[in-house]
Chain A
Amino acid sequence: MNAFDWIVLFGTIVIIVVYGVWKSRGSTNINGYLLGNNSMPWWSVGLGIMATQASAVTFLSTPGQAYEDGMRFLQFYFGLPVAMIILSVTAVPLYHKLKVFTAYEYLETRFDLKVRTLAAFFFLMLRGLSVGITVYAPSLILSTILGWNITLTTVFIGTIVAIYTVSGGTKAVAATQKYQLAIIMIGMLVAGAVAFSKLPESVSFGDTFSIAGELGKLNLINLKFDLADRYNIWSGLIGGLFLFLSYFGADQSQVGRYLGGKSITESRLGLLFNGLLKIPMQFIILYIGILVFVFYQFNQPPLFHNVSLRDKAMATEQASTIAGLEKDFETVFKEKAGRARVLIEGINSHNEVVIEAEKRAIKEIQKKEAGLRSKIKETIAIAIPDANTLDKDYVFINFVMTYLPHGLVGLLLAVVFLAAMSSTASELNSLASTSVVDIYKRSVNSQGSDLHYVSASKWFTVGWALMAMVFATLANQAENLIQFVNIIGSLFYGTILGIFLTAFYLKFIKSNAVFIAAVVAELCILYCYFFTKIAFLLYNIIGCLIVIVVASTIQLLFSERKRV
């Protein structure tokens, strides 16, 4: 990092924050503050939806996921376009017709106050925990990379987001998100281009596919049905569909984005825009991870990607063991780089014998590398007992810090901050909306003026921002941050979706039945999480089905007894 990087980093952040505050000045009524006066065009709705979903974790963790595990994570998003279509047909016209501020308001119209409050409570639980991770993930990585104090980094991100979210509400969130997403995508593409430009001249773009494919990283589609496998086409299409129906249909952080659309058409087009672009966008981000993987076949990567932690361990008595492991790694890597060059020649000359031989040799070397990586992690754990030795999330940012030219390093760090800011802003905004509209205004103080509720929304935003910073400390031992965010979502989304699907389609079911069913479903999901090995994406289906089946059964039994 040099002065130019710092100027780019802080210049970008300051411009976005000032723009958000300026653009949204003067929101004094609750509609303007929470729904942006329903003035958003479709492209603003669509970009807001994409920016809300794509947090800093997406850009830090996803390339690392591809680097380690290949492209199979992409299948997770296959249910999303179908969910966009279903919601465009059902939820959008319904929410617009009822002129609701939050999705949970509709539940009181359909059932009663207790169901609305229960769904709002589940949402506040899951989003309140997730927003902590949304802030924590970039704070942890940036504080490690930049040598900053983690608490101060968390407070810094939380505070700058709170400034413009409190001052301008939804309008500020929407005004800033489109520029944030544009800068984010430009930054990511530049990083991918740099990784490709640093490959040997003999390696074409097509060759990157061949190398990644031969080494097992282009595992985009797995047709095998396996309940315990987190990512295959079926878990993505079925589990993903349920997860995204719930996320986009019943999670206020997303519902708030398309409720801000100026008409049903604009909201629908915003959702469909997301349905068209989300998978290509994730493909690009994952492929940037693959480019980094290919780059590291020819350029020696660090044995342990969290370089700051490795440096700390080097100051202990484990230093000689670490140095020995790194020496062994250097030898192993040199052999692999030579093999990779021969593999490229074999691919270009279509020599299957060479390809097979080199592929087998590289895979053997990769096993040795994996062994050395395990050993260095064990050694670092001995050197610093409370350290988290999972380094997947550091692969991409470490590449950026080491290989990108000055100025671009600042831009990529700005990307991480902006991504954290855009999703955190939406989440804080939705937590405040739900707290005020569904809890405070409905059950605590229903006689306040518009100005009073705007003021209450601002205070709730501040309160949730503080909670986010506290929750941030709970995320420390997550295996992989993006996965942890999705697991938390899956714990509650199935139940929430079950409530909404019952509300939409099973008109004979009344409030008591759905309320009991939702409580039962949530207990079952928690049991699955703590005591079974069921893949977390399936929690969405299980939770949803339990609500529907139990609610239907209770309702039918209750009706029967009444008739008797």
Chain B
Amino acid sequence: MTENSDEKPPVFASWNGWYLLVAGFLIFLILLFLLITKRYS
């Protein structure tokens, strides 16, 4: 087990990239579901 909390993450230059990806995907899903609700209800 390593203890360095500043380990560089894979793919992105920093962990903020990963956090933005997860948050952005959540926003995308909510908008998609809103669209589905409006379109089909």
Contact = CB atoms under 8 A, between A and B. Distances in A.
B1 A262 contact: yes
Interface in A98-146: 99
Nearest to A277: B25
Contacts of A268: 9, 15, 18
Contact of B22 (A81, A97, A213, A219): A81
Contacts of B18: 88, 268-269, 272
A92 to B, nearest CB: 8
Among B7, B26, B30, max chain A CB count under 10 A is at B26
B26 to A, nearest CB: 4
A81 B23 contact: yes
Interface string A194-221: 0000000000000001101110101111
Interface string A208-237: 011011101011110100000000010000
Interface string B21-34: 11101100110011
A5 B22 CA distance: 40
A260 B10 CA distance: 19
A276 B22 contact: yes
A84 B19 CA distance: 9
Among A74, A220, A263, A280, max chain B CB count under 10 A is at A220
A276 B41 contact: no
Contacts, number: 86
Contacts of B23: 81-82, 85
Contact of A89 (B19, B25, B26): B19
A100 to B, nearest CB: 11
Interface string A276-291: 1001100000000000
A220 B34 contact: yes
B36 A269 contact: no
A150 interface: no
Given A78-B30, A218-B37, A263 B7 contact: yes
Contacts of A81: 22-23, 25-26
A291 B36 CA distance: 16
A308 interface: no
A96 B1 contact: yes
Contact of B10 (A84, A210, A269): A269
Interface of B: 1-5, 7, 9-10, 15, 18-19, 21-23, 25-26, 29-30, 33-34, 36-37, 39-41
Task: In the A-B complex, list the 7 residue pairs whose CB atoms are closest, starting with the nearest.
Answer: A213-B40, A93-B5, A220-B33, A38-B1, A263-B2, A81-B26, A275-B22
29 contacts: A74-B33, A78-B30, A84-B22, A85-B19, A88-B18, A88-B19, A96-B1, A97-B5, A209-B36, A210-B40, A218-B37, A218-B40, A220-B33, A220-B37, A221-B30, A221-B34, A233-B30, A262-B1, A262-B2, A263-B7, A265-B7, A268-B15, A268-B18, A269-B9, A269-B10, A272-B22, A275-B22, A275-B26, A279-B26
Interface of A: 38, 74, 78, 81-82, 84-85, 88-89, 93, 96-97, 99, 209-210, 212-214, 216, 218-221, 223, 233, 261-265, 268-269, 272, 275-276, 279-280
Given A81-B23, A88-B15, 15 more contacts: A78-B30, A81-B26, A85-B23, A89-B15, A209-B40, A213-B40, A220-B33, A221-B34, A263-B2, A263-B7, A264-B4, A265-B9, A268-B9, A268-B15, A279-B26
